[in-house]
Amino acid sequence: MLYREAGQFKSTYAQDSQIFPLLQDRVAMVALLLVAFIVVPLVGDQYWLSAIITPFLVLSLAALGLNILTGYAGQLSLGTAAFMAIGAFMAYNAVLRIPGIPILAAFAIGGLCAAAVGLVFGLPSLRIKGLYLAVATLACQFFVLWAINRIGWLSNHSSSGVITAQSMAIFGFAIATPAAKYLLTLFVVVFMALAAKNLMRSETGRAFMAVRDMDVAASVIGIPMMKTKLLAFAISSFYCGVAGALYAYCYLGTVEPEAFTLDLSFRVLFMIIIGGVGSILGSFLGAAFITLFPIFLSVGSKWIETLLGIEMSHAVVSNTEAIIFGSLIILFLIVEPLGLARLWQVAKEKLRLWPFPH
């Protein structure tokens, strides 16, 4: 009844091509952003801010990066964690070696270095597709970690290979508290998500989708294959690189190359599969599911234990979490192969008709 477009007329092209054509959506989005920027830092306690919401945002950005490449441009990649590692380590080196560099510039350098490596490892995509391309990006994953482990310069010759993020400040304002780190992450993520959304609605984005749907047809209608595919790799790697820098600076504080193993690449891939391939919203929903759900399961199992007054062996609880999580993923994929974003879309369509389904 409330969610209806009746009476909302569009009289200009600009109105017609808005991201959120419905007034209700715009209001909801502004409210959400207000909550995220003002209410959350005020009411969120340290645990929520630094252990739940910040990692969720960082991984959303990584998932968004992968979604640009895999979801929009159709190039399967298993190198996400490697690009994140490049972002983290190069941002660290930028702060270390360029005195007085603003932190956001360091993040951007991290992202650009990741984009450069992404370009190189994107080259095989001009010849190979699908699973074979995934294997080529797998090489990137292993090569990058190997290089970070072996080249001492990258970790400033730290004996254990672990780097510690330097302290951050923007315009003299120190970013040290969880709330400040959260706000910085949120700002970067919102800005980059908006950029991605607009990019995907532009000519470039449409070229990506044309390549994804059928690359031969796309090249026939005059879309330059090399430029489009490499651009997709570069943009995607840039996003992942910035996510990696945020992971190091705003979340963990220290990173070792082992934080960016293939395991993380797969997790990000699962995020977009569960959230929705080829959807900006899907990246966020998927990241929320994959990062938050295990934590809720582990907290929830404690509530169940106290509530029922039984004591379960912790090993059983830990393993049950893994089993439940795995089964839910399978269930989701069977019930809704297009991901959570599609469920959201269906819900919205139903809501438009509610309460009169016909």
Partner 1 sequence: MNRKLAVISAALGFALSGTAIAQNEQFVPANFYWVGPYAPGGSGFGGGIIDYMAMINERDGGVNGVKLTWEKCETEYNNARGVECYERVKKHPPTGATVIHPLSTGITYSLIEKATADKIPVISMGYGRTSAADGRVFPYVFPLITTYWSQATVLIKFIGQKAGGMDKLKGKKIAFVYHDSAYGKEPIPVLTDMAKQYGYELIPLAVPHPGNEQQAQWLQIRQAKPDNVILWGWGVMNPTALKAAAKIGYPRDKIIGAWWSGAEEDVLPAGSAAKGYISAGFNAPGSEFAVMKDIKKFVYDKGKGEFEDKARFGSIYHTRGVVAGIVTIEAIRLAQGKFGKGKPITGEQMRWGIEHLNIDDKRLKELGATGLMPTIKVSCMDHEGSGLVKFQQWDGAKWKVITDWMEPDRKLVREKVESDAAQYAKEKGIQPRDCSKEAL
Residue 175 one-letter amino acid: I
Distance separating alpha carbons of residues 40 and 17, to the nearest angstrom: 31
Contact between 149 and partner 1 (CB under 8 A)?
Answer: yes
* Nearest-5° Cα angle at 166, 160 to 292: 80
Tokens of 3: 């969610």
Distance between start and end Cα atoms, the chain: 13
Which of these ranges, 10-18, 107-115, 126-134, 161-169, lies near partner 1 under the rule CB under 8 A?
161-169
- Min. distance of Cβ 326 from partner 1 in angstroms? 12
Which of these ranges, 16-24, 158-166, 268-276, 341-349, lies near partner 1 under the rule CB under 8 A?
158-166
Distance of CA 331 to the CA centre of its chain: 23
Q: Give, for 170, the enclosing helix (H) or strand (E).
A: strand 168-170
Contact between 17 and partner 1 (CB under 8 A)?
Answer: no
Helices (H) then strands (E): counts for the chain: 16, 4
- Residue of the chain from 220, 308, 330, 334 that contacts partner 1 (CB under 8 A): 308
In the region spanning residues 233 to 252, those forming contacts with partner 1, defined by CB under 8 A, are: 251-252
Distance separating alpha carbons of residues 328 and 4, to the nearest angstrom: 33
CB 72 within 8 A of CB 212: yes
- Min. distance of Cβ 189 from partner 1 in angstroms? 17
- Residue of the chain from 52, 104, 329, 343 that contacts partner 1 (CB under 8 A): 52
Contact between 298 and partner 1 (CB under 8 A)?
Answer: yes
Which of these ranges, 10-18, 65-73, 232-240, 256-264, lies near partner 1 under the rule CB under 8 A?
256-264
Cross-strand bridge partners of residue 170: 173
* Interface residues toward partner 1, by CB under 8 A: 46-47, 50-52, 55, 149, 159-162, 164, 166-167, 251-256, 258-259, 261, 295, 298-299, 302, 306-309, 313-315, 317-319, 321-322
